[in-house]
Amino acid sequence: MMREDSAPTELVIRQAHILDPGSGLDGVMDVRLSSGRISEVGEGLHGPRELDAEGLHLFPGFVDVHAHWRTPGREDEEDIESGSAAAAAGGFTGVVMMPNTDPVVDRPVMVSGLVRRVERESRVRARVSAALHVGLAGERLTEMRLLKEAGAFCVSDDGLGTASAGVLRNGMLYAHSAGLPVFLHCEDHTLATGVVHDGVAASLAGLPGSPASAEDAATATALILAAETGAKVHITHVSTALSAALVGFFKERADVTADTTPHHLTLTDDLVSTLEGLYRVNPPLRPDGDRGGVEAALREGILDFVATDHAPHASEEKELPMEEAAPGFLGHETAFAALYTDLVLTGRLSLTRLVETMSCAPGEWVGEGGSLRIGAPADLTLVDLSEEWTVGRETLISRSSNSPYLGRTLTGRVVGTIVGGEPVHDRTGARFGVRA
């Protein structure tokens, strides 16, 4: 983690509206951060260094379990420095990095190398996912015990579904014995042969579609195997109402958690009519019925949390017709604002539930962060819920600019992010300064 020599060992943040559903905090209070941890929450706190945060909301730092920082291999699109700066700008204090890089992170030496680079180059806490299969090829399992020793947090072939149920079952058994969670992108490639969701919008646009069953069949298989093997399984980017319902059915029958993305919660396949490759993503944007089903599942706790699937791509891979474009959206910097604008301000999701799904629940899944209880790491996010801002290439800190929200005016902006008591993103300075 980047350290600044001038970083305060103690900081009192005064008069923010603190909201931490996990600790039952909801009101205007002060918080003291000492030696990288939360040391006191209360009223009338003072210290040698104070930040006046009146009018701002303070949440436990957001945690994003699904990030593609493109290191190694595509540092022209993102790297640990730029990815972690984008994460910090979005209020994220922790992420999990996906292994679909070039080369794939499938050997212990690559994991230990990345862990060391993260320590030096990342502004936020970043965990490394290793591949489930060598080369993500869905054939040979990786050496999971050695990968874990090298520092891998979980295993995943994200970006690709798993070709065969038999191979996936073995992978779950091995990961379970190695003590590693399996992080799954559920897509059956024999069904997912198109480039957008197979629905009315695809037909009108004349584009080849992938049916919802491509995700649903793979999700059902994964859940059945999770129940049978006992593996700890996380299903990422759930995008259909049926897959969400399947997760609900298996919640009590398997050690399973699931997330969905800000884009599947706020955008639909209407965008297919633009024919623009910018809007291509896997799994594809779905019709509003699926979007609503996923939203309801998140509201009800069937889906555990939100993860962005932050997937930077160079403009020459995105400014193309839909059929030729690379799938994926930037996610870190717009996640909170998109969800706050489209779900909270419209009354469809409470702010409390949004914080649970961006901070508490993913923090619990990674085992650190997502809480403002006394003694917890001082990882927190300061947000101005009234600030309106327009997403533009010039506002984005990521090295890429493939945001599906480009041009959208959103409400709610992260103004400060603190990791281990140290500021890693700071837009408060201009307005408040830190009184030393």
Tell me how far apart the alpha carbons of residues 271 and 286 are, in angstroms, rounded to a whole number.
10
370 scored as a contact of ligand DOR (CB under 6 A): no
- 158 makes contact with ligand DOR (CB under 6 A): yes
Neighbours of 72 (CB within 10 A): 17
Q: Tell me the closest approach of the beta carbon of residue 98 to ligand DOR, in angstroms.
A: 7
Concerning whether 384 is annotated as a catalytic residue, the answer is no
Ramachandran area for residue 210 (φ above 0: left; ψ -120 to 50: alpha; else beta)? beta
Shortest distance (Å) from residue 342 CB to ligand DOR: 20
Burial of 425 (C-beta count, 10 Å sphere; 0-12/13-18/19+): buried
| Other Cβ atoms closer than 10 A to 211 | 18
Single residue of 17, 32, 57, 68 touching ligand DOR by CB under 6 A:
68
Q: What angle do CA 300, 295, 288 make, to 5 degrees?
A: 145
Does 82 help bind ligand DOR (rule: CB under 6 A)? no
369/404 with CB nearer ligand DOR: 404
Residue among 148 and 310 whose Cβ is closer to ligand DOR: 310
Binding residues for ligand DOR restricted to 274-313, rule: CB under 6 A? 281-282, 309, 311
In the bound complex, what is the minimum distance in angstroms from residue 398's beta carbon to ligand DOR?
A: 13
- The answer to whether residues 241 and 249 touch, using CB atoms and an 8 Å cutoff, is no
Size of the site for ligand DOR (CB under 6 A): 11
Q: Does 185 bind ligand DOR (CB under 6 A)?
A: yes
Q: Give the nearest residue (CB) to ligand DOR.
A: 328
Q: Is the dihedral of CA 182, 188, 194, 199 positive or negative?
A: negative
The residues, ordered by sequence, that sit 6+ positions from 5 with a Cβ below 8 Å of its Cβ are: none
Residues 88-107 that bind ligand DOR (CB under 6 A): 100
Distances in Å between the Cα of 301 and the Cα atoms of 146, 179, 248, 282, 315 are 35, 25, 9, 23, 37
Q: Least CB distance from residue 68 to ligand DOR, whole Å? A: 4
Q: How far apart are CA 226 and CA 250, in angstroms?
A: 9
Instruction: Give min distance, CB of 311 to ligand DOR, in A.
Output: 4
* Minimum CB distance to ligand DOR smaller for 78 or for 342: 78
Q: Which residues bind ligand DOR (CB under 6 A)?
A: 68, 100, 158-159, 185, 281-282, 309, 311, 327-328
Report, as residue numbers or ranges, the catalytic residues. 309
